[in-house]
Amino acid sequence: MTNRFRTASGGRIDRAAPLSFRFDGQTFSGFKGDTLASALIANGVHLVGRSFKYHRPRGFLSAGSDEPNALVNVARDAARAAPNLRATQVELHEGLKAQSQNRWPSLSFDAGAVNDLASPFLPSGFYYKTFMWPAGAWKRFYEPKIRAMAGLGVAPELPDPDRYTQNHAHCDVLVVGAGPAGLAAALAAAESGAKVILCDEQAELGGSLLSEVSATIEGQPAAGWLAATLANLAARDNVTLMPRTTAFGYFPHNLIALAERVTDHLATPGAALPRERLWQVRAREVVLAAGALERPLVFPENDRPGVLLADSARIYANRYGAKVGERAVIFTACDAGYRAALDLKGAGVSIAAIADLRTEVSGELPARALAAGIDVRPSTVLVGTKGRLRVSSAQLAKVKNGQVGPAETIACDSVLISGGFTPSVHLFSQSRGKLVWDGAAGAYLPGTSVERERSAGACRGIHGLQRVLEDGYAQGEAAALAARDHTSPARGATPAPATPSRAFAANAEDLGSAGFIGATPHGRNPALAKAFVDWQNDVTSKDILLATREGMRSIEHVKRYTTTGMATDQGKTSNMNTLGIVSEALDTPVPKIGLTTFRPPFTPTTFGIFAGAARGDVFDPLRKTAIHDWAAAQGAAFEDVGNWKRAHYFPRPGEDMHAAVARECKAVRASVGMFDASTLGKIEIVGPDAAEFMNRIYTNAWAKLEPGRLRYGVMLREDGFVMDDGVVGRMSADRFHVTTTTGGAPRVLAHMEDYLQTEWPDLDVWLTSTTEQWSVIAVQGPKAREVIAPLIEGIDLSKEAFPHMCVREGTILGVPTRLFSVSFTGELGFEINVPSAYGRAVWEAVYAAGERFGITPYGTETMHVLRAEKGYIIVGQETDGTATPDDANLGWAVGKAKKDFVGKRSLARDAMSAPDRRQLVGLKTTDPKVVLEEGAQIVTDPAAPVPVPMLGFVTSSYHSAVLGRSIALAMVKGGRARIGQKLMVPMPTHAIEVEVVEPVFYDPKGERLNG
Amino acid sequence: MVESPSVTMPLAPANPLTASPLTALAAVARDVASARLVALGDAARLVFRGREAAVGPAGEAFGVALPREACRFNAAGGRFAFWLGPDEWLLLVPDAEAAPLFGAIEAATTGLPHALVDVSARSVGIEVAGEKAAFVLNQGNPLDLSLAAFPVGMCTRTVFHKAEIVLVRHAPDVFHIDVWRSFAPYVWELLEDARRELA
């Protein structure tokens, strides 16, 4: 088969550039400029898919993005495989490999077609009724089976190796659609100096002009005018032309999402190019020039391969030089059928007959058809088609007084249908604009706009090439004007001016707005005739009628019951006919039935384009401290804390986490360890009112804290529960160095800013995040002072001059430091704050200085164990947003004498000091080897009748190498009063006995802190 | 090697004790003429916030008047004052120590309500330069980077993908990014990704 159905000449394909491609394993040839659909049609192939539910053989219905049937899988390799592509939009390239879908074992013999025979038992909604029993089987059995049977394509299982990028763009006027209206709009906007983006989903800009063979504009053939206009636009700096770019979503404030297909049409795309680009365009004004979609007619067996929309058949012939067959029957309700008949006849297709639904046939196009000798039959319908994998005949019958007469069979290999044109209002509807039913046009048209947009041309019901061009130009000009004058309430379409601002001389057939919606009469047994409304979801007119019989009145209910319009084509070809059928069945006018919502995307869009570059290591910011690489080089294991990577532990060869943590803990207690605490949140609070601000935000009292001292601070939410904690240093009278938890840093800063800006704008104090300014190196253990002493200058490190909980400024290695004497381990400790650019150098110097003491770097796990041995809480681990300071043993940190602080009034509520509140306690298992599970519940008697009263739960639990036993912290009801009691921790197989103890396991008097 | 760019910021002599989070990434950066990527050297950075009375003296002491127009910067003698908010400025001096600047501004604003904080090490600078600089930036930044909307002399706090940045336009084709250091590799890698398609 080598292009037997190719015209001898003509079309926009490059006949000097033949291409070979494969479909279902068979090799075919086509030309540059072909789509997969046009190339297959030129080779006589119409059978390209099996339908969704009944597995009926299907061919091409259309030539564009409205195609419901011809969904194919195009694969470059196993990973680069895209299912469900519309063959009508797949550009041919050398070596393209495509496969049909939803068939087994093959396209021409599909076992699933048994569904078609079983169809009387598979009406719409059948799965709601049939698969109800046994309970649970739906999820395990029915749904997976139905999904496998009623399927679209199969997604590849390998990671997508292609790149997708995302771009933001701004313009004065975005024109969507590059047909005559869009071109004229872009021209007008560009001429008035506006920055214009013109996008179109097709490979070539031009829309309907690409398939015009007889029309003229400004005295030129349409193709010539198109080329000149595109050259004119391309030459302008203020115009960006974007072919292969689908405007798929209209979002608030004129943000329009465009999907640009960059490499799919290339045989060997360069590795550097993204496969697709997402463009998020913020446009001052939008001109929608989306055109109109041809409507099929709904009659029995209208889904056989070879049944196509009439204008699509004309596009295949005129634009691609591909004949849909040798002998066509045409069924039309408007003049589009005649225009197609004339052009196809000119291309060498014989026209067996034109059946026209209308009783009166008049006008120029029918007259020309008659003059050309075509058999024109008014008041005639198609009542069926025959043929197995391709239409072989059509049955025509006269309609008289509503009665369908006897059928006459006419042999043909194609049936071309046209029910008129539906304005494409998808994007307008997405912009939340109100659609209005226009009885004269028989269509929903854009009404009141919500966004700064206007529709132009066929998508707002304008017909006739000259009027479309003039409307496009007027809308483009108005859009440019509105973009300049932002203050004008310029919303919505400009009424077509009486005298157009620019007149276009155009000569083309005007198809008018005639058409039909609904199902055509056929006089056959309705139970045995399948007249398809929605090709992609296999919905027939019978299904719609069933829905109305079952009581559905709203179109939204009919849609959900039958699934009409819910396929990936979003009802492009089916919506209006569904409305027509429901309208007739319920004897209710169309506008009373409503219209379903158009949702983005306009056409299916890849996941890749939404993910963009956000995958792998750059899916989210991966934050590392200045010391990270050192830790990595030492073989540290890391854990995620928020977006930070923190060293978890430093295993030596042969050590597991347990062994490493035990060694690290012992080293800190016995000698000295060092820990990277740089991720702690830090905020510098500066200004004359800094202390007053601190007083209001924290529970503690700050006024009397002397410069040079540290204090542990607790912060509450307004509801009185602990929000965050941290050590705060007073650097001077008006300067505090605040630390927060690692995860709490942004939340705490926002909380503070919120109060400062909304409650206390009178305070002279300002907040600056310094989290990343400082690297924090904790040196902890009895030898800590000896380790750092040789490195520090300008600070007296003696016990007397620099006791626990002080801050001093000096230098380390000559680098300015804020040195804290602070401990989260219970040992003598220092935290060296240095500007993070110096963090690595200072860390290495401390490590070197500590080597003679066997200084041991430790990670977050050891830090957790050491602090738990001391009963130091971690906000978010011991607390869960329902703990008061007193619950967490922090009552001492609340300044009772303070007039006010955030959360104070809430703390005064009785319930906040009830004796049976959960309180922080320690737990010791009777068997010291047993380590409790964090989160485990605590009860008095596990054998008590269900529900067993819960006393609380374990919040932290570790094996303490230093103590040689397990330890745990827990929140227990009335816990402090239970100290000394035995409680039980029930587990699935047994219960563990524990003793409630004070939550300080190690050095309860705190003597080691001072070294 | 981390280097400094063009006329706007002279090359900084490397301090052996300081390290940039971008050193390794910059070392393997591809040379793309239409979108050069340069890791900028050390700089003194101060955040100045305060009441009206302190603004003038702070600018005088810094040597560059603090701009009062939103999202604009002033520059003189290799010093930059970026407007970040109605009472917030980022003062930046490439290849300089923060301490003397800090002292001078504090001395000039004694008794006037204000806050001055040294954030020199908090962030690092990246230069994106070339005719495709805006195209590269717009892959992670939603602002209109046309010269009309984002002229030379403009600066703003904004985003690059999921990271907060300060974006500055020094020349039609020269942008600087100031980004907190732990986010810098993320921003750099996405800038690299964005210019992959450029020769």
DSSP-assigned states of every residue in B107-155: HHTTTS-EEEEE-TTTEEEEEEESTTHHHHHTTT--S--STTTS-TTBE
> How would CATH label the architecture of A297-418?
3-Layer(bba) Sandwich (3.50)
Distance CA A898, CA A528 (A): 86
With residue A609 as reference, give the H or E element that holds it.
helix A607-611
Are A192 and A477 spatial neighbours (Cβ–Cβ below 8 Å)?
Answer: yes
A-chain CB neighbours of B47 within 8 Å are 768
Residue A763, judged by CB atoms within 10 A of its CB (0-12, 13-18, 19+), counts as: middle
* CA A379 to chain centroid: 50
Count other C-beta atoms under 10 Å from residue A205's C-beta: 26
Rounded to whole angstroms, how far apart are CA atoms B49 and B113? 9
- Is a pLDDT exceeding 60 seen at residue B9? no
Instruction: Report residue A492's pLDDT band, with 50, 70 and 90 as the boundaries.
Output: low
In the sheet with A380-386, reading across from the earlier edge strand, the strands are A380-386, A393-400, A403-411
> Cβ–Cβ of B193/A282 closer than 8 Å?
no
CA A776 to chain B, closest CA, distance in angstroms equals 13
Q: Residue B183 belongs to what domain range?
A: 23-42+122-194
Q: Average pLDDT of A440-451?
A: 93
B141 and B155 share one domain: yes
Q: Does the distance separating the beta carbons of A766 and B49 come in below 8 Å?
A: yes
Q: What is the ipTM of this complex?
A: 0.95
Question: Does the beta-carbon distance from B122 to A626 stay under 8 Å?
Answer: no
Count the domains in chain B.
2
Is residue B113 domain-shared with residue B49, that is, in the same domain?
yes
B38 and B126 assigned to the same domain: yes
Q: Do B193 and A273 touch (CB under 8 A)?
A: no
Q: Which tokens belong to A843?
A: 């860390």
Q: What is the mean pLDDT of residues A985-995?
A: 97
State pLDDT tens for residues A736-793.
999 999 999 999 999 999 999 999 999 999 999 999 999 999 999 999 999 999 999 9
Q: Do B149 and B173 fall into the same domain?
A: yes
Beta-carbon separation of B122 and A686 below 8 A:
no
Shared domain for B101 and B139, answered yes or no, is: no
Q: Which long-range contacts (CB under 8 A, 24 or more apart) does B168-171 make?
A: B168/B73, B168/B82, B169/B145, B170/B6, B170/B8, B171/B8, B171/B129
Task: Tell me which chain B residue has its CA closest to the CA of residue A838.
Answer: B18
Q: Is the pLDDT of residue A68 over 70?
A: yes
Separation of alpha carbons B167 and B190, rounded Å = 15
Q: How far is A210 from chain B (nearest CA, A)?
A: 31
The answer as to whether B58 is a domain residue is yes
pTM: 0.93
Q: What is the mean pLDDT of residues A359-379?
A: 96
> Given B18, B47, B99, which is nearest A838 (Cβ)?
B18
Residue A820: pLDDT band (50, 70, 90) is: very high
Q: What is the average pLDDT across A810-830?
A: 96
d(CA A428, CA A668): 68
**Pick from B16, B121, B138: which is nearest to A167 by CB?**
B138
The CATH code of domain A1-157 reads 3.10.20.440
* Rounded-to-integer distance, Cα B183 and Cα A624, Å: 8
Which of B 117-156 lie inside 8 A of A, CB atoms? 117-123, 135, 138-144, 146, 149
| Cβ neighbours of B183 (radius 10 Å) | 23
Q: Is the pLDDT of residue A121 over 80?
A: no
Task: Give yes or no for a cis peptide into A601 (omega within 30° of 0).
Answer: yes
Q: What integer best gives the mean pLDDT of chain B?
A: 93
Mean pLDDT of A829-836: 98
d(CA A809, CA A965): 40
Query: A647 forms bridges with which residues in the sheet?
Result: A638
| Mean pLDDT, chain A, whole residue set | 94
Options 1.10.357.10, 3.40.50.300, 2.40.30.110, 2.20.70.10; CATH of A914-1010:
2.40.30.110
Tell me the pLDDT band of B11, cut-offs 50, 70 and 90: very low
- CB within 8 Å: B19 and A837: yes
Fold classification of A676-867 is Gyrase A; domain 2 (3.30.1360)
Evaluate if residue A102 carries a pLDDT over 90.
no
A163/B149 touch (CB, cutoff 8 Å), yes or no? no
> What pLDDT score was predicted for residue A118?
74
A390: amino acid identity, one letter: R
- Alpha helices of A626-710 — where are they, by DSSP H? 628-633, 657-670, 690-697
Given this model, what pLDDT does residue A757 score? 96
Domain positions in chain A are 1-157, 164-292+423-507, 297-418, 526-588, 676-867, 914-1010
For residues A366 and A361, what is the distance between their CA atoms, to the nearest angstrom?
Answer: 7
Q: Which of B62, B92, B118 is the last residue of a domain?
A: B118
**What gap in Å lies between CA A541 and CA A577, rounded to an integer?**
9
Task: Select from A624, A684, A813 the Cβ nearest to the Cβ of B17.
Answer: A813
Cβ-proximal residues to A746 (8 Å cutoff; 6+ apart), any chain: A681
Residue B17 lies in a domain: no
Interface of A with B in 678-717 (CB under 8 A): 684, 686-688
Of the two residues A4 and B12, the one the predictor is more confident about is A4
Q: In this structure, what CATH number is given to the domain that contains residue B148? A: 3.30.1360.120
Q: Are B138 and A709 within 8 A, CB to CB?
A: no
Q: Counting beta carbons within 10 angstroms of the beta carbon of residue A368, is it exposed (0 to 12), middle (13 to 18) or buried (19 or more)?
A: middle
Residues B32 and B127 in one domain: yes
Residues 642-661 of A with CB under 8 A from B: 644
- Higher-confidence residue: A595 or A615? A615
Query: Which string of b and e fits A108-132 if b means at least 16 CB within 10 Å?
Result: eebebbebbeebeebbbbeeeeeee
**Residue A126 confidence (pLDDT) above 90:** no
Which pLDDT tens digit goes with each residue over B130-184? 999 999 999 999 999 999 999 999 999 999 999 999 999 999 999 999 999 999 9
Higher pLDDT pick, A87 / A143? A87
Cα separation, B10 vs A171, whole angstroms: 36
pLDDT at A146 over 70: no
Which DSSP category does A507 fall into? E
**The predicted structure's pLDDT at residue A493:** 54
Q: Which of B180, B176, B184 is CA-nearest to residue B75?
A: B176
A487: pLDDT strictly greater than 70: no
> Would residue B18 count as lying in a domain?
no
pLDDT at position B4 over 50 = no
B116 touches chain A (CB under 8 A): yes
**Cα separation of A520 and A308, whole Å?**
17
Residues of chain B in contact with residue A686, where contact means CB-CB under 8 angstroms, are 115-117
Q: Is the pLDDT confidence value at A122 over 80?
A: no
- Domain match, B36 and B58 both: no
Beta-carbon neighbour count of residue A656 at 10 Å? 10
**Tokens 């600056």 belong to which residue?**
A768
**Whole-number Å distance between alpha carbons of A101 and A79:** 17
- Whether residue B140 is found in the same domain as residue B104: no
User: Using an 8 Å Cβ cutoff, are A173 and A188 in contact?
Assistant: no
> Residues with Cβ < 8 Å from A938, sequence gap 6 or more?
A923, A950, A951, A952, A953, A954, A970, A972, A983, A984, A985, A994
Q: Enter the tokens of residue A34.
A: 């072909």
State how far the alpha carbon of A21 is from the alpha carbons of A28, A58, A78, A237, in Å.
5, 21, 17, 38
B189 and B132 belong to one structural domain: yes
- Domain A164-292+423-507 classified CATH 3.90.1150.10? no
Give the 3-state secondary structure of residue A640: strand
Q: Do residues B136 and B151 share a domain? A: yes
Q: Do A768 and B42 touch (CB under 8 A)?
A: no
Q: Residue B2 — very low, low, confident or very high, per pLDDT cuts 50/70/90?
A: very low
Q: Which ranges of A671-767 would DSSP assign to H, the alpha helix?
A: 690-697, 745-758
Pairing of strands A735-740, A637-641: unpaired
- pLDDT for A952 beyond 60: yes
Cα–Cα distance measured from residue A631 to residue A3, given in angstroms and rounded to the nearest whole number: 67
Q: Write down which residue in B79, B99, B118 finishes a domain.
A: B118
Closest B-chain CA to A262: B197
Angle between the N-to-C axes of helices A336-346 and A364-371, in degrees from 0 to 180, rounded to the nearest 10: 40
Q: Cα(A205)–Cα(A186) distance, rounded to whole angstroms?
A: 12
Say which residues have a Cβ less than 8 Å from residue B155's Cβ, sequence separation at least 6.
B71, B72, B73, B82, B83, B84, B166, B167, B168, B169
> Are residues B175 and B80 both part of a single domain?
no
pLDDT mean over A119-142: 68
DSSP string, A48-109: -EE-TTT--EE----SSTT-SS-EEEEESSSSSEEEEEETTT-B--TT-EEEE-S-SB-SSS
Residues A296/A59, Cβ–Cβ less than 8 Å: no
Give domain A526-588's CATH superfamily. Answer: BFD-like [2Fe-2S]-binding domain (1.10.10.1100)
Distance CA A84, CA A155 (A): 9
Cβ pair A688, A784 in contact under 8 A: no
Q: Give the Cβ contact number of residue A280 at 10 Å.
A: 17
In a domain, B5, yes or no: no
Cβ partners under 8 Å of residue A848, min gap 6: none
Is the separation of the CB atoms in B11 and B77 below 8 Å? no
**Would the CATH topology of A297-418 be identical to that of A676-867?**
no
Q: Is the peptide bond before A915 cis (omega within 30 degrees of 0)?
A: no
Question: What is the C-alpha separation between A630 and A841, in angstroms, rounded?
Answer: 10
Give every strand in the sheet of A350-356, ordered side by side: A307-309, A414-418, A327-332, A350-356, A376-377
Per-residue pLDDT reduced to its tens digit, A239-288:
999 999 999 999 999 999 999 999 999 999 988 999 999 999 999 999 99
| b (16+ CB within 10 A) / e for A34-54 | bbbbbbbbbbbbbbbbbbbbb
Sheet strands (E) in A717-844: 722-732, 735-740, 766-769, 774-780, 792-793, 806-812, 815-821, 829-835
**What is the pLDDT confidence band of residue A1, given thresholds at 50, 70 and 90?**
very low
Helix (H, G, I), strand (E, B) or coil at B73: strand
Kindly give, in sequence order, each residue whose CB lies less than 8 Å from that of residue A614, ignoring residues fewer than 6 positions away: A620, B161, B162
Give the burial class of B95: count Cβ atoms within 10 A of its Cβ; 0-12 exposed, 13-18 middle, 19 or more buried: middle
Closest residue by Cα to residue A60 from A604, A575, A536, A541: A536
From residue B50, alpha-carbon distances to A693, A827, B101, B119 in Å are 16, 41, 17, 16
Q: Which two tokens stand for residue A212?
A: 């015009």
Domain boundary among B69, B92, B118: B118
Same domain, B142 and B190: yes
